[in-house]
């Protein structure tokens, strides 16, 4: 199997997907603690980086407990992408620079960024070459199977990206026009694995540890990337590692342990963000994901989605546990269906997951 161009401890490393508004530093740290082998930043605008936009550079902050880490950048101007890669390399020194050729959302695609680049594979190659010349770090790519069904050609796209200098390749096996609908075609990941000489990471429709194991068996991918499957259950990485190692999978945390993880996550956000009220409001989506599938979860989520301070969260959790122990809830515990957690929780999906996995 091809070797990764940066150090990874696991034979089949598990990646936390780059997800705008989700894979911020506190969540990356949490997932690394729960077994993610590699994390990647939110996707960041090359123009924002090269112009040293304060808000953009702020999202590049990471700590030593997040390594190995990749910084993902997007854009359609090879020169801007090269400048951004050079700055990221010199100032932040991640393990690798990842290029986003997969984001399907309109505000990115209308500037020909993300999956918009897939309409012009000559441009894709020019971007990869420019970024590779600008940094000594490994340059990796994350992309989709094509712009549309008519242009769906994951192997052809992958070969051109490899030829341009990509050192590892992540495929989310949907086209841009599919957005997040339908099913990821894992057989396309398997075909790319067969065709490339560089490591291939599989991405798409991994909601449970069992999904990750099935993808690995079907594709023989060098690594697995998990996105939406980590929402509200960062322990999915540890559980997946158990299955990959052939040992019994550790149990899903009980309610009190789940709330303890959520509060640990909240404390990390408090320490990281400068605006405590804004951070608490933004954290509501995570709270909804942690509550997904619990007895009486609709009422619990309604309460959590009104908080404006982290101190309120602990009280809501404490009251919920007390009511559960009194037997106030007739419902039995349900396993979360992470795929529709955002919709049920009344929050928007991240704008890119490349935001879905």
CB-CB contact of 219 with 190 (8 Å) = yes
- The pLDDT tens digits for 289-346 are 999 999 999 999 999 999 999 999 999 999 999 999 988 886 544 444 443 444 343 3
Residue numbering of the annotated binding site for FMN: 18-20, 72, 142, 172, 227-228
pTM of the predicted model, to two decimals? 0.89
Residues 135 and 228 grouped into a single domain: yes
- The pLDDT tens digits for 21-48 are 899 999 999 999 999 999 999 989 999 9
CB-CB contact of 292 with 305 (8 Å) = no
Overall domain count for the chain: 2
Residues 240 and 263 grouped into a single domain: no
Structure tokens at 122: 């000559």
Residue numbering of the annotated binding site: 18-20, 72, 142, 172, 227-228
Question: In the prediction, which pLDDT does 180 show?
Answer: 63
Q: How far apart are CA 159 and CA 167, in angstroms?
A: 12
Residues 261 and 240 grouped into a single domain: no
Mean of pLDDT values over 3-18: 94
Domain boundary pick from 187, 212, 244: 244
Domain boundary pick from 193, 218, 244: 244
CB-CB contact of 117 with 149 (8 Å) = no
Domain boundary pick from 244, 266, 281: 244
Structure tokens at 338: 């992470």
Mean pLDDT check: name the lowest of 117-121, 169-173, 219-223: 117-121
Question: In the prediction, which pLDDT does 177 show?
Answer: 55
CB-CB contact of 75 with 49 (8 Å) = no
DSSP label at 104? -
What residues are labeled active site?
103
Structure tokens at 119: 């309409």
Residues 181 and 103 grouped into a single domain: yes
């Amino acid at each position: 199997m091809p070797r990764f161009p940066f150090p990874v401890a696991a034979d089949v490393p598990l990646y936390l997907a780059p997800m705008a508004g989700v894979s911020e530093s506190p969540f990356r740290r949490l997932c690394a603690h729960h077994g993610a082998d590699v994390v990647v930043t939110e996707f960041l605008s090359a123009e924002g980086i090269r112009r040293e936009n304060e808000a953009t550079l702020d999202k590049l902050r990471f700590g030593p407990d997040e390594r190995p880490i990749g910084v993902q950048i997007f854009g359609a101007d090879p020169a801007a992408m090269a400048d951004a890669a050079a700055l990221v390399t010199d100032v932040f020194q991640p393990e690798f620079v990842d290029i986003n050729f997969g984001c399907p959302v309109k505000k990115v695609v209308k500037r020909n960024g993300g999956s918009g680049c897939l309409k012009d594979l000559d441009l894709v190659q020019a971007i990869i070459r420019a970024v590779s010349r600008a940094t000594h770090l490994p340059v990796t790519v994350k992309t989709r199977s094509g712009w549309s069904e008519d242009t769906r050609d994951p192997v052809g796209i992958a070969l051109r990206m490899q030829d341009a200098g990509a050192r590892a390749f992540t495929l989310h096996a949907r086209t841009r026009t599919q957005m997040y609908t339908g099913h990821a075609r894992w057989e396309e990941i398997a075909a790319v694995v067969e065709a490339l000489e560089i490591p291939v990471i599989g991405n798409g429709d991994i909601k449970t540890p069992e999904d990750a194991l099935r993808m690995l068996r079907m594709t023989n991918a060098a690594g697995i990337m998990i996105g939406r499957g980590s929402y509200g259950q960062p322990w999915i990485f540890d559980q997946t590692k158990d299955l990959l190692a052939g040992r019994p999978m550790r149990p899903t945390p009980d309610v009190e342990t789940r709330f303890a993880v959520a509060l640990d996550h909240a404390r990390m956000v408090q320490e990281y963000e400068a605006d405590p009220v804004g951070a608490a409001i933004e954290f509501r989506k995570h709270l909804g994901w942690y509550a997904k599938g619990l007895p009486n979860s609709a009422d619990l989520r309604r309460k959590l989605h009104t908080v404006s301070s982290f101190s309120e969260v602990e009280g809501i959790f404490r009251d919920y546990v007390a009511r559960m122990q009194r037997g106030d809830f007739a419902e039995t515990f349900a396993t979360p269906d992470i795929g529709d957690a955002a919709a049920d929780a009344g929050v928007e999906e991240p704008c890119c997951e490349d935001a879905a996995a």
